[in-house]
Structures are given as C-alpha cells and as structure tokens.
Amino acid sequence: MTSTTIRIESSIKESAHKLAKGIGFSFSDLVNVLLKKAIREGGIDLRHPTLTENGFTPEFEENILKTEKEGKYEEKSVNKLFKGKKKYIA
C-alpha cells in the first residue's frame, strides 16, 4: 500500500466519512473501492443519473416532444432553450 494526499472540500470530506462509516468502511476503504470500480469499468459515468438517453431531464424531453407533436415546434424557439446552457460530454 501507499499513501496519497488529495485536496477535498471540507463538506464533501465530512459527507464521505459519514457515508463510509454508515456502510462499515473507513474513508480509505471507500476511496479504494471506488477507484477499483472505476478501473475495472474503464471509467466513471459522470452524467446525471436521471437524464434520458438523449441527455435531457425527463420533464424537458417530454415538453420538447409535446411541443413538436402539437405542431408548435420552431427551430428558433428550440435554439433559445439551449442558449447559455452548459454542454455535457457523454
């Protein structure tokens, strides 16, 4: 084994310690398990877990589909929806 020093926000560290303790792990055990999982799976999926396969929240996608179905779709209005939004990398 080896030791590593990392910088973590205080609130995240406290929450992680509570999480680890709650499942019977030390903080170090939790970090090791998560790192091993990431290595085994070849990465970490950082996408929001409740997004649709198209990358939208279910409510947002439902509104888009409803608008299109009702014939109210205009390319300009859809572009306005995305103006200023952060892009997600899948």
22-57 pLDDT, tens digit each: 999 999 999 999 999 999 989 987 776 787 887 788
Residue 86 lies in a domain: yes
Residue 3 lies in a domain: no
pLDDT computed for residue 62 by the predictor: 86
Residue 17 lies in a domain: yes
3-state secondary structure of 7: coil
d(CA 8, CA 14): 10
Q: What is the mean pLDDT of residues 77-81?
A: 60
Task: Enter the tokens of residue 40.
Answer: 């085994």
pLDDT computed for residue 40 by the predictor: 93
d(CA 90, CA 63): 22
Q: The domain containing residue 37 runs over which residues? A: 10-41
Query: Do 55 and 78 share a domain, yes or no?
Result: yes
CB 60 within 8 A of CB 66: no
Give this prediction's pTM. 0.51
Residue 35 lies in a domain: yes
